[in-house]
Amino acid sequence: MRYLPWLLAILLATTVTSAQHYAAGNIDIQSPWSRELPPTSPNGAVYLTLTNHGTQPDKLLRASTDVAERVEIHSHILEDGMMKMRRVESVDLPPHKAVLFAPGGYHFMLIGLKRPLEADDRFQLLLEFEQNSQALVEVVVQSSDAQSTGKTGHNPGSTTSDSGPISRFELYIHEGKVILDDQTIRVTQGDHIELNWSSDKSIELHLHGYDIHAYAAPNSPAIMHFKAHATGRFPVEIHGKSEHSALIYIEVHPK
């Protein structure tokens, strides 16, 4: 393992404050995780949260690991009405702010996996910062069907009503976020869609473009049911949230 000759120096600069919780200078690193993949998968991804507790801005510059040929930092951007994945050279870490690396947002792409990522496996990831040097963290590989707090997925199902087949999606909101492998639900014009929302707190939702509102609360799920008549890309937002950030997007493609 190529980290071994200088591993001690990095560990001295990296404090492990608890399980899956690290600190490198003023940068707090929480819960690095990846998802298990089929043995034939050429690439993988890593997610975590970075919080700058300092008074000065910092930057995440790069990452590396022995389980892949190289690591790239990627994000999703809206381009020509579509969300696309793009490589970024660095990530700004403003003072007293948390930056989430999660499916559908920032993430580390593991390019050219050297071995399969299996459930409960662990591997090391080296993070390099502009101001706070380096941190070596341990990434835990989660089962692909694990449903734990903060890492939930949508499970499309299909039922039939008098108006035809219904595509049903189960969605869970935790701490104001829906974390999915892909935060875009793609459907076809004319499809009947049902979004079943559960939430850890009381929250009002708004599907823009279709002007549908729903109210979800603990132990009181909400349902959005509609026919996808209009094509385009439509965000579901938390109504009244000042930054108006989208939880997910409904992407309706022409027949």
Measured in degrees and rounded to the nearest 5, phi and psi for residue 119 equal -55, 135
Tell me the chain's radius of gyration from C-alpha atoms: 20
Q: Is the CB of residue 208 less than 8 Å from the CB of residue 234?
A: yes
CA 135 to chain centre: 21
Under CATH, which number does the domain 4-142 receive? 2.60.40.1890
CA distance linking residue 83 with residue 186, whole number of Å = 11
Q: How many CB atoms lie within 10 A of CB 67?
A: 21
Q: Check residue 28 and give its pLDDT.
A: 93
Q: Is the CB of residue 230 less than 8 Å from the CB of residue 209?
A: yes
Across 1-93, where does the E strand assignment appear? 14-18, 21-24, 27-35, 43-52, 58-64, 68-79, 82-88, 91-93
Q: Is the CB of residue 44 less than 8 Å from the CB of residue 72?
A: no
List the chain pLDDT tens, one digit each, 255 residues.
Answer: 444 444 444 444 455 544 477 988 899 999 899 988 888 888 888 989 899 999 999 999 999 999 999 999 998 665 665 556 788 999 999 999 988 887 667 889 999 999 999 989 999 999 999 997 899 999 999 876 543 333 333 444 444 445 567 888 878 887 788 866 678 898 998 899 988 888 878 888 888 888 788 888 776 778 888 999 888 888 898 875 444 568 899 998 887
CA 156 to chain centre: 18
CA distance linking residue 81 with residue 232, whole number of Å = 8
Q: Select 157-253's CATH number: 1.10.472.10, 2.60.40.420, 2.40.440.10, 3.40.50.2300.
A: 2.60.40.420
CA distance linking residue 50 with residue 165, whole number of Å = 43
Question: Which is nearest to 176 in space by CA: 98, 238, 250?
Answer: 238
CA distance linking residue 254 with residue 251, whole number of Å = 10
Of the CA atoms within 13 Å of residue 107, those in its CB half-sphere come to 23
Local structure of residue 64 (DSSP, 8 states): E
User: Considering the entire predicted model, what is its pTM?
Assistant: 0.56
- Domain residues of the chain, as ranges? 4-142, 157-253
Local structure of residue 62 (DSSP, 8 states): E
Residues 6 or more apart whose CB falls under 8 angstroms from that of 182 comprise 103, 104
Q: Check residue 222 and give its pLDDT.
A: 82
Q: Do domains 4-142 and 157-253 have the same CATH topology?
A: yes
Q: Which amino acid is at 70?
A: R
The SS3 assignment for 86 reads strand
CA 66 to chain centre: 23
